[in-house]
Structure 1
């Protein structure tokens, strides 16, 4: 009995020692990892044993972009990261413009979107231009550039945005002003507007999202859901979302259902247009991109190719302008003296035009009038600088390389450049970098574009956004038309913060009230 008790106690002591040994081993591993991290990644976030950057990321999940910004500033502009053990995620985050130019231009071929990015978007975008690399991307880019820069498409897109602004947007706002509940989510309105506008430009079809009653539109809702769930794949380990996809459960089941709705709509549109083309022998009366692509003789694109291109175009065009406009109105609400400068400029353009009565529902801004709105373009550019619609860019390393700042990147590594953080780095934008100051874009009364690698809001290099001009025209038309007629008052008590996705939506929307404005073409400036 005594022997049994003795050995029993020895077992307990042994178990206790084993736990102590495990604890000491883990503590030693942590201290060793911390030392390695301190020596190799000074200023960067803590890289934990096994879990990598994930715990640090979770600690800052509520302010992830500001946390990344602080870490990048502290580390001198670039830091290394590593994901969960065996997850394969590793690389660097950077805001160094020389690194960005090196990736997006100098060594463009060595830094494609890569498999990591393409796999996550493949279900929704297929081989569309937004998700393609190499020759497939070049073919789409070549045709898209040719068609979108043609005078025919430029005139068509201007007419489309004019009709949507005056035929739907302003009427919708007027209806809201007359309603009992004047509080409305401005971000939702802009997302509806840009979805209709980009769908008309890409497909030649108006989904009707901007109708007076703000209807539910299955295609638009499915597109929104598919986008959100696709972006969610970037936040979970690959084995998890791939497992859920294989068994068709969880959020992957929702994604499959949403993608099915989007693809069915797109395929039906392409099939109908193909049938029209076969019956008529041409589509010369149509100017949307789908029709233009069908008539390019040297390329005979398949239905899937046309579907993927148009879906990619909608994704790229919908978010950029709508999110930028929402942040723009939030910023000018906080800076009323800038709002007054914009209004004075718009009123000056109106007073010097032959169409003086812009309250007339048939009066529309012309391309020439929009070009004269220099301060408005500067304010929109400044808004995009501080709150870029796509805050992060991803590139995958094809072969081992060394970035201009000396950072070594191995094959398969991912380089992430944080556009949101770039705007908040003094060495890039000066000591007033965090201020909303449109004047930084103007010299001698003219709008001055910035170096695209310092300001990669519309991408840069060979992948510079082909729809940049389209986006500015759309944003200027919307902003000028609203500001001339209404003061947009942001409702108090709401928390306006970025949504934690790769697209910088406002997490809870932007609720506003529209206050009718009296047009006064000789109103004195109230600048500070």
Structure 2
């Protein structure tokens, strides 16, 4: 009788598989995933999906900063993960032209259309130059100050005062997301949706930004055929993406106002993009509104999620490091001369530059919890990374920004500690770190144009809260990163406030 005809054979199969698994682990680095026949390393991906960023960091830390991941043989999911600063510098700067966003990324982020995040070549240059012209406009700094302080005065402080008087806990991450959403809508659409008010109204578009973060990461980690099938069936994470896309369209389109003979305001970002769309013949006339919607959506993504995420982790970090909070309080009172006046006042962009220790604390938040946790690149020509790893053309390269800030080889033995001092020079100035070592704002030609805008806004918000309130974390509430593209706190940041005696 043939072996496969013996029923005992089928009872032995699970034991054989288990023994092969144990043999595969002998002598292996503890965090390295097993490369199984047919399915590759997919089981490890699935098992660690809830803590994906930390799992990747463990593997990269133990494997020299770069690791080749094998996917199921039939799914074209092999990819290389890296957090090696030399590789980052090579890909984002030295060999930049060989690493466009590419068609794979455009498929994953199709929700962004022709926005700057997925644009390549000439379209990307148009986006970048037009946005830069607005951020360097003579009226920009004063407009930024006015908009941020207005929202602090009419939205942030009244809401925080309300919770303080009620003595109830609340989600500080939600407050930051509403604050930055209102601000970026004002900047891009010239419209304040007032999502940050005492009523905390439900604004579908504002919530949609959080709802797309995990589904977009899922598209990296599961075969394309599966997520496309989900999309066709309108189920699972793909249904969430479709609902979010509808919410974006319903919110943004009504606020796109074309010129139609109106007097032109030289400081209006959508008017600037409308002008360049027509001058450069980017697309047909009937495609203008779609282009402006895509442009608005990308700018809103950048303005809402990155700033609110950094602020969330900053306040968690200083809550668990109270000595740092005290130093920030003392710096605010000294540098803004609040000790003498005993009265809070708004400060301008130039004065924000005096808050060196607060700047260092923000940098630590960005180092340990970069809002954009990873980046996808694909070489149009085969390449060899400085680490020695070979990349065929159109292969997948995933750069883990999250891991870069947590590698001892990059930041030293204290890499997991919150130390704002590491960003301060001996002369008391702000210490500069190269972007390939600190890629929170991307690196190379695609470095974030809104970096300075983000720091100014975050200092205004952080200083206002730290000066006015004592912040206490809700005991027992878990604060951990989401397994998503944007590194938000999975369960929010629940806190209680009390007034400071100032």
* TM-score, reference length from structure 1: 0.87
Residue 336 of structure 1, aligned match among 298, 306, 322:
322
Q: Deviations over 1:231-250 (max 9, x none)?
A: 43334321111112223344
For the pair 1:291 / 2:271, whether they are aligned, the reply is yes
Match of 1:236 in 2: 222
CA deviation after TM superposition for structure 1 residue 478, in Å: 0.3
> 425-434 vs 435-444, which deviates more?
425-434
Residue 411 of structure 1, aligned match among 364, 377, 393:
393
CA deviation after TM superposition for structure 1 residue 485, in Å: 0.6
Distance 1:410 1:19, change over 3 A: farther
- Contact 1:394-1:417 within 8 A present in 2 as well: yes
For the pair 1:515 / 2:498, whether they are aligned, the reply is yes
For the pair 1:312 / 2:294, whether they are aligned, the reply is no
For the pair 1:213 / 2:196, whether they are aligned, the reply is no
> 200-209 vs 235-244, which deviates more?
235-244
CA deviation after TM superposition for structure 1 residue 462, in Å: 0.6
Match of 1:466 in 2: 449
Distance 1:406 1:229, change over 3 A: closer
Q: Deviations over 1:421-449 (max 9, x none)?
A: 11221221112111111111001110112
Match of 2:153 in 1: 166
Match of 1:142 in 2: 129
Structure 2 gaps, min length 5: 283-287
For the pair 1:457 / 2:440, whether they are aligned, the reply is yes
Bigger Rg, which one: 1
CA distance in structure 2 between the aligned counterparts of 1:28 and 1:192, rounded to whole angstroms: 50
CA distance in structure 2 between the aligned counterparts of 1:43 and 1:229, rounded to whole angstroms: 25
Distance 1:112 1:317, change over 3 A: same
CA deviation after TM superposition for structure 1 residue 351, in Å: 1.4
- Contact 2:470-2:500 within 8 A present in 1 as well: yes
The SS at the match of 2:117 is helix
CA deviation after TM superposition for structure 1 residue 504, in Å: 0.9
Q: Deviations over 1:13-40 (max 9, x none)?
A: 65128946994998599689959x999x
Match of 1:7 in 2: none
The SS at the match of 2:480 is coil
The SS at the match of 1:166 is helix
Match of 1:68 in 2: 56
Match of 2:233 in 1: 247
- Contact 1:226-1:259 within 8 A present in 2 as well: no
CA distance in structure 2 between the aligned counterparts of 1:14 and 1:235, rounded to whole angstroms: 35
For the pair 1:372 / 2:346, whether they are aligned, the reply is no
The SS at the match of 1:167 is helix
The SS at the match of 1:243 is helix
After TM superposition, the structure 1 = structure 2 runs for residues 249-264 of structure 1, keeping only pairs within 5 Å, are 249-264=235-250
CA distance in structure 1 between the aligned counterparts of 2:236 and 2:279, rounded to whole angstroms: 44
Distance 1:223 1:435, change over 3 A: closer
- Contact 2:332-2:338 within 8 A present in 1 as well: no
* TM-score, reference length from structure 2: 0.92
Q: Deviations over 1:52-74 (max 9, x none)?
A: 22111233334332222221121
Distance 1:75 1:231, change over 3 A: closer
Match of 1:6 in 2: none
Residue 460 of structure 2, aligned match among 477, 482, 498:
477
CA deviation after TM superposition for structure 1 residue 185, in Å: 0.3
Distance 1:14 1:503, change over 3 A: closer
Q: Deviations over 1:113-135 (max 9, x none)?
A: 2222210111x210100111222
Distance 1:42 1:346, change over 3 A: closer
The SS at the match of 2:377 is strand
Match of 2:333 in 1: 347
CA distance in structure 1 between the aligned counterparts of 2:347 and 2:75, rounded to whole angstroms: 53
Match of 1:92 in 2: 80
Q: Deviations over 1:263-313 (max 9, x none)?
A: 13222211xx21xx21324234xx342233234574466221111011001
- Contact 1:30-1:48 within 8 A present in 2 as well: no
CA deviation after TM superposition for structure 1 residue 352, in Å: 6.9
- Contact 2:78-2:396 within 8 A present in 1 as well: yes
Distance 1:28 1:318, change over 3 A: closer
For the pair 1:81 / 2:81, whether they are aligned, the reply is no
Distance 1:226 1:389, change over 3 A: closer
CA distance in structure 1 between the aligned counterparts of 2:197 and 2:15, rounded to whole angstroms: 64
For the pair 1:126 / 2:113, whether they are aligned, the reply is yes
- Contact 2:471-2:497 within 8 A present in 1 as well: yes
CA RMSD across the alignment: 2.8
CA distance in structure 1 between the aligned counterparts of 2:4 and 2:490, rounded to whole angstroms: 53
